[in-house]
Amino acid sequence: MAAVIDSVTGHDAQRRVRFGSVEPAIFVILSQLDPLICVVTLLACALGFGGKLTPAIGGVAALTFIVSSRVFRKRTSDIDTSASLSSEFGRILFEWACVVGVLLFGAFLFKVGAQFSRVMMLTWFAVTPLCLEAVHLARVRTRWLIAHSGRAPRYLIIGANSVGFELFRRLPKGGFLGFFDFRSPDRVAQVIDPAQFAGHCKDVAEFARTHGVTSIYIALPLSNVPRIGDMVRELRDTTASIYFVPDVFAFDLIQGRLVEINGMPALSVCDTPFHGTDAVLKRVTDIVVAALAAIVLSPLMLLVGLAVKLTSGGPVLFRQRRYGLNGEEILVYKFRTMNVCEDGAVVRQAAKDDQRVTWLGRWLRRTSIDELPQLLNVLQGKMSVVGPRPHAIAHNEQYRKLISGYMIRHKVRPGMTGWAQVNGLRGETKTLETMSERVRYDLEYLRNWSPWLDIKILARTLAIVVRDQKNAH
């Protein structure tokens, strides 16, 4: 009989894990509607203004779906129902503005704007965020109804610890029946309200059977694996769904995500944000922005190069070895601003009133014009428009030994500007604490990267270059 059971289940099937959701079907559908709403409103506006569904409209619809799928934040169970309607609508407007910006840029680039009715497009631009807000309200209302209805899941959390508390914060409170733990009630009472403690883990299976528990979340440390195994075997005699929630917050996560390796789940603890379509989107954006900037600014760059040559002896461009993607050496270009070209084992950072800086170089540094040749580095694929600023190799070798996680910033291409620079850490880093703060912002960028974060950094960079030049030496 056992052999028959083994042949039915299959050995390989037991070693494969599929990724899915525990949300109700209606909520899963609502959480994925935003890109489709954008397309539906476009088609409705096109038909409403007496137009036809032309191939051009179809192209815009396809591009809108692709771009909005990447720009809009994923609407899953992390919806903050406590957020005000105005702040949520403001976020929707910002994300929609990013999508519209990409569409307008595409229309300008391919000269197809004349094919569309301006009234129809402006109406679409105005109506879509209202429809997106309506869908958001439907999501929030659906979540509230499910949490306060008889269909709300009745669940337990096994583990009165930081992971269990965080899980409890994220789950609906209506169906919560209590915490279970291997510790005694008096020890558990030191960390939670005794009224929330439902019992010892040895009694959880009987409790689940008698109280009609539908879901059980195990949030115990991995050190308890043997006892967890015994408990799961007892819980198989119930009808409850069982979920194991590992303590992923024990790690300093960089792009933490669940991935699948041929049916085997894995947790990404430290990774680059640029995989798949995100990598393509980042690289295409870099090429487009760098190419346009190089074309527009080429007259200025020629004049600056001529001025550097005429005002001081030496090369126009300063080339310095720095670390790029995955710690590989790259040559970074800048307009020469000093009367020396240091690139050895010891490199002294430029400081205020540095005698090595020429009079023209001082102006170039204050305005960041000396960085413009790095547009060539971006087009070469050695740098990005936005990312952690590259440091001289001598500084890298110095600080990698002093600052934990320093080299993680090289999981992405270095940038012409970055999150640290727009948060007051532009220019000289006089102390170890200042460099540590810069690295902290760089790692924060890796954790939270999104297309609109890059847009935000670029906008703030332009404002800083125009108004704040105190840290540029």
338-366: per-residue pLDDT in tens? 765 555 454 555 555 566 778 887 888 88
Residue 206 pLDDT level (bands cut at 50, 70, 90): very high
Closest CA to 128 of 136, 139, 118: 136
Distance CA 142, CA 140 (A): 5
b/e code 190-209 from CB counts within 10 Å (16+ = b): eebeeebbbbebeebbebbe
Closest CA to 371 of 340, 338, 334: 334
Bridge partner list, 217: 157, 243
Amino acid identity at 472: A
Q: Select the more confidently predicted residue: 422 or 107.
A: 422
Judged by DSSP in three states, 265 sits in: strand
Q: Identify the pLDDT of residue 84.
A: 58
**Residue at token pair 């009745």:** 154
Residues recorded for the chain? 473
The first and second tokens of residue 203, run together, are: 């009694």
Q: Identify the pLDDT of residue 470.
A: 56
Distances (CA, A) of 183 to 158, 159, 160, 215: 11, 9, 9, 21
| pLDDT at residue 52 greater than cutoff 60 | yes
Question: Where do the structural domains in the chain lie, given as residue ranges?
Answer: 25-147, 153-250, 276-467
CB 289 within 8 A of CB 342: no
Distances (CA, A) of 350 to 202, 309, 335, 365: 65, 21, 14, 10
Q: State the fold for domain 153-250.
A: Rossmann fold (3.40.50)
Q: Identify the pLDDT of residue 413.
A: 95
Q: Across 82-91, 197-206, 246-255, 345-354, which has the greatest mean pLDDT?
A: 197-206
Residue 218: Cβ-neighbour burial (10 angstroms; 0-12, 13-18, 19+):
buried
CB 225 within 8 A of CB 246: no
Query: Which of 41-55, 123-137, 401-415, 435-449 comes out lowest in average pLDDT?
Result: 41-55
| pLDDT at residue 76 greater than cutoff 70 | no
Helix H, strand E, coil C: the string for 324-341 is CHHHCEEEEEEECCECCC
414-466: per-residue pLDDT in tens? 999 999 999 988 877 778 898 999 999 999 999 989 888 998 999 999 888 87
Distance CA 368, CA 469 (A): 9
Closest CA to 419 of 380, 464, 376: 464
Q: Say which DSSP state 316 is in.
A: S
Amino acid identity at 67: V
Q: Identify the pLDDT of residue 353.
A: 55
